[in-house]
Amino acid sequence: MDDLIHKLQHKVAGLTEAQRRIADYIVQNPMEVAFLTVDKLASKVGTSTATIMRFSAAVGYSGFSELQKELQSNMKHKAAPQTRLEANLKHSNKSKLLHNHVELQFQNIQYALDNITEETFQHIVEKIASSRQVLCSSVRSGRPVGEYLSQGINRLLGNCQYIDADKSDWVDELVHFQSDDFIIAVSYPRYAKRIKDLLEAAKSYGVEVLLITDSYSSPLTKYAQYVLPCSSASAGSHNSVVSAIFIVDYILSALAINDPERTKPRLDQINHMLTKMSYHTTH
């Protein structure tokens, strides 16, 4: 954080009035800015996203994401849930909490859509469908995303399993992985070391990785061939999984629709077995 403040102080004389407002907001709210989308920051400061980008360049960064990456790197120890809650309490309005929550989640989803191309989606869907086996893994706040995606892929294709990276079971599985297999990992701040261990091992085995994380500035992106940036910003203290669930739900839909000759017979067989077991209640 000291390095960033030094840069801001050194450059302040050459900044416009709007850019100085941005600098002031960052200095006063570094933890909050570290996890804001550029649109949200622009709204809070009362300026445009283009001004945020020009400001980032003016203080020596290639873009806002690089500035934010430095903030996140310097403030990892402050990114605890209670600290996020403290930051959100400063700007929350309880009477408008539902409205603000909905607005924030729309922004989270839009952030993902703005940063993921259709070509990337297509490559990921094709990779999952063509893989011999798929391993989904996550920890803690990423678990709902990993489990949901794993169950959906396995129901459609029968080639996926979920393993909690906090357990060592993934080691037993990974030693048998080959280059035609695929790993999907989910990790949000404060980026669990167990996920990093898994991805390092995957890289050593030549297994390609899809990483679902909060942004391209995540320290885990260097291990992945594919990255789906899904903002985890919330109005409270937790990592929100709303945008990630939205994105992986699309992936599951694409898998089902793109290859019905493969997915429909499997769904029919599963339904037949469940019906035979009287699995679903009729009352």
Residue 271 pLDDT grade (very low, low, confident, very high; cuts 50, 70, 90): confident
For residue 201 the two structure tokens come to: 């091992």
Neighbouring C-beta atoms of residue 19, cutoff 10 Å: 22
pLDDT tens digit sequence for 159-216: 999 998 888 777 887 778 888 899 999 998 888 888 999 999 888 888 999 999 988 7
Can you list the domains of the chain with their CATH numbers?
Answer: 2-79 (1.10.10.10), 115-276 (3.40.50.10490)
pLDDT tens digit sequence for 76-119: 544 566 666 666 666 667 777 888 888 888 888 988 998 899 99
First-to-last C-alpha distance (Å) of the chain: 60
Distance CA 102, CA 43 (A): 16
Contacts of 160 (CB under 8 A, 6+ apart): 128, 133, 134, 135, 136, 150, 153, 154
Query: Which residues lie across from 183 on neighbouring strands?
Result: 135, 209
Contacts of 76 (CB under 8 A, 6+ apart): 189, 190
Query: What residue has token string 């798929």?
Result: 134
pLDDT at residue 73 is higher than 70:
no
pLDDT at residue 230 is higher than 60:
yes
Lowest mean pLDDT among 14-23, 172-181, 238-247: 172-181
